[in-house]
């Protein structure tokens, strides 16, 4: 199978139109494109109104449109919040001539504030006029849902299915802070469309696998939002694709979006990728990788470019993960990579690495490879960013 990165964002998918506008910190995006759909949602016990509403909408397994606002999360807003989420679906339904029960609603922004429905209705009128299947439509929608994001996030791929057949899998996302999603069933939102002809079970199974290996392995600050949501819609307007190829392509798209979110972490100056190998199981590898990339001590050492602290803190993070009892202290090895590469810990022994590690930590991309030395063959990768003074300023509201 050949995966080719293409231009066009969501609108590279046959049957999709999109657009969005942003006024100050208040934005609205609309995506039109009907088909089989699946979604994954935050496991935060306090779920925002649009999460609860859209989860119910998806029970039929079909979506015709997505409407999403930024600047207000519509979370912890009681019955009025649910009425407003339903009103957003009604407005989109009326403008597009689609079934209200097939409209997904998403929101992102401050918690505990009611939506300005007058503003949303006015903005929707402008957005509908701009709906397009051109590349600019996807970009406009991606920009409209930004909150503390510093750049919009979109990616698109084309997959060769053989016999000159092509299908597209494309997505947009937002996320910069409050990023530690854990979806087994500032916020992380992602909308992914495909024109591949895929049945509902394959759609759901592939989405769960892709999210587990992408968004669920991305940590900016360790806080889980009340609004996290990933939606996948298939217009079915191109050919069929094997389940394995579809899942691989979808995972690629989700990982590219996840890495963009990590790179745009609030206040971040460095992108971090952590790969853990030699684990007894994939679950163990994931737990260790997330523990490292989520550790404030590891993230702070990387921000401070401290070669004397980084490896000790990585080891502490591994020891605090769920697999700690299985770790062989004399088997752990740690490699650090950037503009240079070095084996910093070899079979439980610290090496002489201070000079080279300082050069590595001075870079904008830090790659950490940890071999747990348990004899296991499982591995996993997580993504994140450093923890900076600017992160605290942003979230303290200090400018």
- What is each CA distance from 278 to 270, 317, 326, 331, 354, in whole angstroms? 26, 16, 11, 10, 25
Tokens linked to 399:
């400018």
CA–CA distance, 314 with 299 (Å, rounded to integer): 10
Strand partners, 3: 159
CA–CA distance, 385 with 296 (Å, rounded to integer): 10
Tokens linked to 130:
């701009």
Give the residue among 55, 358, 6 at the shortest CA–CA distance from 231.
55
Tokens linked to 362:
């001075």
Query: Active site includes 187?
Result: yes
CA–CA distance, 193 with 16 (Å, rounded to integer): 8
Residue 374 DSSP code? S
Tokens linked to 248:
């691989």
- Phi/psi region, residue 194 (left: phi>0; alpha: psi -120 to 50; beta: rest), is beta
Q: With residue 10 as reference, give the H or E element that holds it.
A: none
Catalytic residue, chosen from 187, 251, 374, 388, is 187
Catalytic residue numbers read 187
């Amino acid at each position: 199978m050949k995966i080719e990165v293409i231009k066009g964002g969501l609108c590279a998918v046959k049957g999709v139109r999109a657009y969005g506008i942003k006024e100050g910190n208040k934005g609205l995006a609309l995506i039109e494109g009907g088909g089989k759909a699946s979604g994954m949602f935050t496991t935060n016990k306090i779920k925002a109104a649009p999460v609860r509403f859209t989860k119910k909408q998806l029970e039929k397994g079909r979506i015709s449109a997505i409407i999403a606002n930024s600047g207000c999360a519509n979370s912890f807003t009681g019955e009025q919040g649910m009425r407003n989420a339903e009103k957003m679906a009604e407005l989109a339904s009326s403008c597009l001539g689609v079934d209200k029960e097939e409209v997904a609603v998403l929101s992102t922004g401050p918690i505990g504030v009611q939506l300005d429905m007058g503003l949303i209705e006015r903005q929707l009128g402008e957005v509908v006029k701009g709906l397009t299947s051109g590349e600019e439509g996807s970009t406009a929608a991606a920009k409209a849902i930004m909150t503390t994001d510093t750049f919009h996030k979109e990616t698109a791929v084309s997959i060769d299915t053989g016999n000159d057949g092509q299908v597209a899998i494309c997505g947009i996302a937002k996320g910069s802070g409050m990023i530690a999603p854990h979806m087994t069933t500032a916020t992380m939102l992602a909308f992914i469309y495909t024109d591949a002809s895929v049945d509902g079970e394959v759609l759901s199974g592939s989405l769960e696998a892709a999210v587990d290996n992408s968004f669920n392995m991305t940590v900016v600050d360790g806080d889980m939002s009340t609004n996290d949501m990933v939606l996948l819609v298939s217009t079915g307007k191109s050919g069929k694709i094997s389940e394995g190829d579809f899942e691989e392509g979808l995972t690629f798209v989700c990982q590219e979006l996840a890495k963009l979110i990590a790179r745009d972490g609030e206040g971040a100056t460095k992108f971090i990728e952590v790969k853990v190998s030699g684990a007894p199981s994939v679950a163990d590898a994931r737990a260790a990788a997330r523990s490292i990339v989520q550790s404030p001590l590891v993230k702070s050492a990387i921000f401070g470019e401290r070669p004397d602290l980084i490896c000790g803190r990585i080891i502490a993070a591994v020891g605090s993960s769920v697999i700690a009892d299985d770790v062989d202290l004399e088997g752990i090895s740690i490699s650090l990579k950037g503009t240079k590469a070095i084996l910093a810990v070899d079979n439980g022994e610290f090496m002489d690495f201070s000079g080279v590690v300082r050069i590595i930590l001075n870079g904008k991309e830090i790659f950490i490879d940890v071999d747990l030395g348990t004899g296991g063959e499982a591995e996993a990768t997580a993504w994140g960013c450093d923890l900076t003074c600017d992160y605290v300023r942003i979230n303290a509201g200090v400018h």
